[in-house]
Amino acid sequence: MAEPDDAPTTPTPPTMDGRTVLVTGASSGIGLEAARALAARGARVVMLVRDPARADAAAASILATAPAARLERVVADLASLAEVRRAAAEVRDRFDRLDVLLNNAGAINDRRELTVDGFERTFAVNHLAAFLLSAELRDLLVASAPARLITVSSLGHRFARFTWDDLPYGERGYRESFAYGASKLCNLWFAREAARRLAGTGVTSNALHPGAIASGFGRDGSWLYRVGMRIGKRVLLTPAKGARTSIYLASAPEVADVTGQYFVRCKVATPSRAARDDARAARLWALSEDLTGVRWP
């Protein structure tokens, strides 16, 4: 069943004038709708996308509903660590501030694939890319404080299955639902540990579950997953509704000082017991530093 549409409403949406927001995966789905809403509120929105043609179509869609939108584009394949580093360098070079980093991009794959760096693709795109991009842009966020780091996770984190030494590679009995769940659990651990490490900098870190969304997500999932998504479209949330919690965390004044939390339908929620394990969050952090070659202060 679709999740109830009970997100808080704001009579006058908070302005984002003067703020710069980077949204990964902004060419479709909830990333596109978050970019649309934040641009309409006055933010300069940097759309980090993989496909330039889809980015152009997304920008045209936003401008059709918000003609004054200020949109920028950065093109990168988040499955490549080198591409993530290059994109971050471009952002640092082109923009003098970053008020919100919304790690929205995500994928699910029906079969095990390795990236150019030798990592299982779901883990690399959903977690390592967000970890590395956030690390590379950390200083810009801190210099722009108060700023917000937001990571899109999923209820799917409750279905995570992995062993630590196999997590980056997915060699042992790969299943798309387990790989996706593991990456979403990693998102929660990352957001939680980032909040601890960013304490005192003026940068908050939170994660969210957007809800079950009828979008193009899962186009690389198994045929059974794709069929299920088609059948479920009648009861799933639209991308616009699914983007509400991302938009809320990026703009709402009442969460300006909230950090280290998990949100569902714009409210603080309790993730799985595993997601609240600080020791495992720290372990993932150390592993991610080793795999990406980056060190956070």
Mean pLDDT (whole number) for 285-294: 98
Burial classification of residue 222, based on how many CB atoms lie within 10 Å of its CB (0-12 exposed, 13-18 middle, 19 or more buried): middle
180 is catalytic: yes
pLDDT at 279 exceeding the cut of 60: yes
3 against 109, higher pLDDT: 109
What the chain holds in terms of domains, given with CATH numbers, is 20-292 (3.40.50.720)
> Residue 231: what pLDDT?
40
Site of tokens 């996706």? 180
Mean pLDDT (whole number) for 1-13: 53
Q: Which two tokens stand for residue 181?
A: 């769940």
pLDDT averaged over every residue in the chain = 91
pLDDT at 12 exceeding the cut of 80: no
> Are the CB atoms for 35 and 222 separated by under 8 Å?
no
CA–CA gap between residue 13 and residue 196 (Å, rounded): 29
> Residue 297: what pLDDT?
82
Residues in Cβ contact with 209 at an 8 Å cutoff, skipping those fewer than 6 apart: 153, 154, 155, 245, 262, 263, 264, 269
Site of tokens 């990168």? 76
pLDDT at 5 exceeding the cut of 90: no
pLDDT at 227 exceeding the cut of 50: no
Exactly one of 174, 180, 248, 262 is catalytic; name it: 180
Question: Bridge-partner residues for 103, per DSSP?
Answer: 151
> Residue 11: what pLDDT?
53
pLDDT at 222 exceeding the cut of 80: no
> Residue 224: what pLDDT?
43
Q: List, for residues 93-139, the tens digit of each pLDDT value.
A: 999 999 999 999 999 999 999 999 999 999 999 999 999 999 999 99
Beta strand pairing call for 262-264 and 203-209: parallel
In order, the DSSP letters of 69-93 are -EEEEEE--TT-HHHHHHHHHHHHH
Mean pLDDT (whole number) for 248-269: 98
Q: Left (φ > 0), alpha (ψ -120 to 50) or beta: where does 107 sit?
A: beta
> Residue 4: what pLDDT?
47
Rg, Å, the chain Cα set: 18
Per-residue confidence at 6, pLDDT binned at 50, 70, 90? low
Per-residue confidence at 211, pLDDT binned at 50, 70, 90? confident
CA 282 to chain centre: 20
Mean pLDDT (whole number) for 240-254: 96
Mean pLDDT (whole number) for 83-91: 98
Q: Which of 15-29, 179-193, 227-241 has the lowest mean pLDDT?
A: 227-241
pLDDT at 233 exceeding the cut of 60: no
pLDDT at 217 exceeding the cut of 60: no
Site of tokens 């909040």? 195
> Residue 225: what pLDDT?
41
CA–CA gap between residue 274 and residue 252 (Å, rounded): 28
Q: Which of 92, 99, 18, 90 is nearest to 49 (CA)?
A: 90
